[in-house]
Chains A and B, each alone.
Chain A
Amino acid sequence: MHFGPHLLLAALEGLVTSAVLALTALGLSLVFGVMRIVNVAHGEFFMLGAVLAWAISTAISGHPAIGFATALVIAPLLVGLVAFLAEWLVLRRLNYNPESTIVATIGMLYIIQQLALTFYGPEARPVEPPFSYRILLPWFGYSGYKLSVVAASAILLLITWLVLTRTKIGLIMRATQYDRETAQAFGIPVERVYAGVFAIGAMLAAIAAVLIVPISQAHYLMGQDPLLLSFIVVIIGGLGSLRGTVVAAVLIGLSDGIISMFFSPTLAKIIATLVVAMVLVFRPQGLFGTAPR
C-alpha cells in the first residue's frame, strides 16, 4: 500500500478510537464537572459494559443483530444501576470529599475487576457485530460497522449536548455544576442530581464499550487504557468542558491511530503521557478550558 491510503486507513482507525473515547471521556468529564470528584473506577464501568454485552448477546439466540441491540439497551442500564448503588452506598456518605472519593473509587475498581475475573474469567471473548457489510474503497475494503460506530457516537454526543443546553434537566445539571449551594437554596435536589450524573457518566462509558466490543474483544483488564486515555482527554480538553472534551478526543484518537502506525506503541504512550502530565503542570486549566472560578 502507498503512503496515502496507508494514512487514510490510520486516520479511519483513529476516528473509530476517537468516537469511543469521546463518549467514555464525556462520562468522566460530566462526573468531574458536576460532582467535582475523580472517578477512578470509570474504566471498570466501561469494562463491565463490554462484559455484560458479551453475556447478553450470547444468551440470546437468533440473528446477531438482535443480541447486539438488546445488549446496547440492557448493558448500559445495568451498569447505570451499579453506579447508582455505588454513589448511594459509598460516595454520598463521604460527602463527596475529593480525596476520600478517589480512595473509594480505587476500591470499586479493584472490586469490579476481581468480580469480573471470578465470574467472567481471564479469556478475551468476541461479540459478533450486528452486520458485516464492507465498504469497498478504491484501495481497501473497510468495515461498515466501524463507520456506524462513529455515526452512533456522533449522534449520542449531539443528544447529550442538546440535553445539557436545551432542556430543564440540563439546566438543573449546569446550575448544580456552577454553584452547588445556591442551586440547593433554589430547591434543586442536589443529591438526586449527583446520583443521576454518576449513573449517566457510567452509562456513557458502558455504551461506548458495547459499541467497541464487536471490534475489540471483551476482557476483564480492558478498562485500564480507556481510563488513562479519558483522563488525558478530559485534562487536555479542560476539566468539565464538553466541547473541549470532544475536540480533545478527536485529537487524541487520530494522533493515537496515526502515531501507533508509525512508531512503537510503548514509545507513543510514553510521549503522550509525559506531554499530558506537562500540560497539567504548566496549564492546569487545559488547552481549551478557561481558568477555574
Chain B
Amino acid sequence: MRDASPAKTYALHIVVIALLFALNFVLPDYHQGLFARIMALAVFAMGYNLLFGYVGLLSLGHAMFFSAGLYGAGLTVYHLGWGVPEAFLAGIVSGALLALAIGLLALRTSGVAFMIVTMMFAQVFYLLILYFAAWTGGDQGLVIQQASRAIAIGGVSLDLTNPTVRYMGALALFSVVLLITLAIVRSRFGRVLVAIRENEERTKMLGYDTVTSKLIAVITSGAICAASGAAYALLFGYVGSNFASIQYSILPLLWVLLGGAATTLGPLIGTLFMYYVTDITSGFTSAYLLIVGVALILLVLFAPKGIMGSIRERWLGWLP
C-alpha cells in the first residue's frame, strides 16, 4: 500500500484470473477437479482473511459460516427442490444472517475471549447439525442428486457435474470475490479496517465508528465464507457435518497464514500450496494432520508473514 498504483494492481489480478482460466484447458482431469476445489475453498480463505488479516480478529469458528452456506444451499435444494441460483443465494443469506447474530454477540469481546467465543458458537452450530440429523443427515451427510445441480439459462442447461462447467463456476466465484476483496481493501473502508487492526483506540479517537466497521467486516466475511460453502455444496454435491467441525475453522487460518495474511492473493496461494502438499504426501503417509500441525508451528515460528507477505516485504512493496 506504499505505492497506490491501481493499474499495476488490477493488471496483476486480471493476469492471475486469466492464468486460472487458461489452466482449465491445460490441466489433466484429476488436477482440473483439484483446482476447482481449491478455488472454491480459496474463497473461504479470502473471507477468513478479510477478518483475520485486515481487521486482526482471529476467529476459531469460521466453519459455521462456511457450513451455513453449505447447508443453506444444500438443504433448500434437497428438501425444497429449489433451483441452483436461488439455493446459492439462500446459502449466502443464511451465512450473512448468522454472521450478523454472531457479530453482535462476539464483538463484545476481544482477543483471546473472541477466539473462544467464536469457537464455542461454532461448536453449538456443529452440535445442532448433529442434533437435527433427521433433516441434515447428521455425520453421514446428504448427497445432492445430479439432476438438481443444473442451471437452465435461456434454453441452455449448464450441468454443474460436468468438469469444465464446474471449473468455470468455481473460477467465476473466485474471480468475483477476489475483485470484491481487492476493491474493499483499496477503499476508504478498507483503510479503516487496517487502522482498527493497528490501533483501535486511536481509530476511535479519530472519529471512526469502529464497532459498526467491525460488524460490517464480520458480516462481509461471513457472507463470503457462506458463498464458498454454498458453491461447494452445489458444485460437489455433498453436505456433511464434517465441514462444520473445528478442523474446518482451523484450515482457513492455516491457508491464510501460509499464503500471507492481509494480502489479496495470499489465500489462493496458501490453499493451493497446502492442498498440493497434502495431496503429494498422502502418497507416502496417511499422517495428514501431522503435516498440518508441523506447518502451523513452523509458520508461526519462522514465517509469520506467509508467502505473499514475505514477497511484499522483500521485493514488491506495492502488492495489495
Partner-B contacts on A (CB < 8 A) = 38, 90, 93-94, 98-100, 102-104, 106-111, 113-115, 117-118, 228, 231, 235, 264, 266-267, 269-270, 273-274, 276-278, 280-282, 284
Contacts and interface: CB of A to CB of B under 8 A. Distances in A.
A267 B58 contact: no
Contact of A107 (B60, B121, B294): B294
Q: Which 8 residue pairs across A and B have the least CB separation, nearest first?
A: A110-B293, A107-B296, A111-B293, A107-B297, A114-B290, A277-B120, A114-B289, A107-B293
A107 B289 contact: no
B130 A38 contact: no
10 contacts: A38-B115, A102-B58, A102-B112, A110-B289, A110-B292, A110-B293, A117-B287, A266-B131, A269-B127, A276-B120
B301 A93 contact: yes
Given A104-B300, A107-B296, A110-B292, A273 B123 contact: yes
A81 B131 CA distance: 40
A25 B60 CA distance: 20
B123 A106 contact: no
A284 B113 contact: yes
Nearest to A100: B300
Contacts of A100: 300, 304
A100 to B, nearest CB: 5
B111 to A, nearest CB: 6
B113 A102 contact: no
Given A270-B127, A273-B120, A281 B297 contact: no
B34 interface: no
Contacts of A94: 300-301
Interface in B71-125: 105-106, 108-109, 111-113, 115-117, 120-121, 123-124
A281 B293 contact: no
B127 A104 contact: no
A273 B108 CA distance: 18
Contacts of A267: 131
B216 interface: no
B287 A118 contact: yes
B257 interface: yes
Q: Interface range on chain B: under 10, 10 to 19, 20 to 34, or 35 or more?
A: 35 or more
A266 B297 contact: no
Interface in B291-317: 292-297, 299-301, 304
Contacts of A235: 116
Interface in B113-150: 113, 115-117, 120-121, 123-124, 127-128, 130-131
Interface of B: 58, 60, 105-106, 108-109, 111-113, 115-117, 120-121, 123-124, 127-128, 130-131, 250, 253, 257, 287-290, 292-297, 299-301, 304
Contacts of B292: 107, 110
A277 B117 contact: yes
B112 A273 contact: no
A281 B304 CA distance: 29
B108 A38 contact: no
A20 B25 CA distance: 59
Contacts of A104: 296-297, 300-301
Given A38-B116, A106-B296, A111 B250 contact: no
B109 A280 contact: yes
Nearest to A276: B120
A284 B107 CA distance: 12
B109 A284 contact: yes
Given A38-B116, A104-B300, A267-B131, 19 more contacts: A94-B301, A102-B58, A102-B60, A103-B299, A104-B301, A107-B296, A108-B297, A110-B290, A111-B293, A111-B297, A113-B289, A231-B116, A235-B116, A269-B127, A270-B127, A273-B123, A277-B121, A280-B109, A280-B116
Contacts of B300: 94, 100, 103-104, 107
B287 A98 contact: no
A280 B127 contact: no
B166 to A, nearest CB: 30
A177 to B, nearest CB: 16
A274 B301 CA distance: 34
B56 to A, nearest CB: 9
Contacts of A93: 301
Nearest to B249: A106
A110 B287 CA distance: 10
A38 B112 contact: yes
Contacts of A102: 58, 60, 112, 115
A38 to B, nearest CB: 5
A108 B112 CA distance: 18
B284 to A, nearest CB: 13
A281 B118 CA distance: 10
A276 B58 CA distance: 19
A7 to B, nearest CB: 25
Contacts of B128: 270
A107 B290 CA distance: 8
Contacts of A108: 293, 297
Nearest to A270: B127
A225 to B, nearest CB: 11
A235 B289 CA distance: 29
Contacts of B112: 38, 98, 102
B302 to A, nearest CB: 9
Contacts of B58: 99, 102
Given A99-B58, A269-B127, A111 B115 contact: no
B123 A228 contact: yes
A281 B301 contact: no
B108 A281 contact: yes
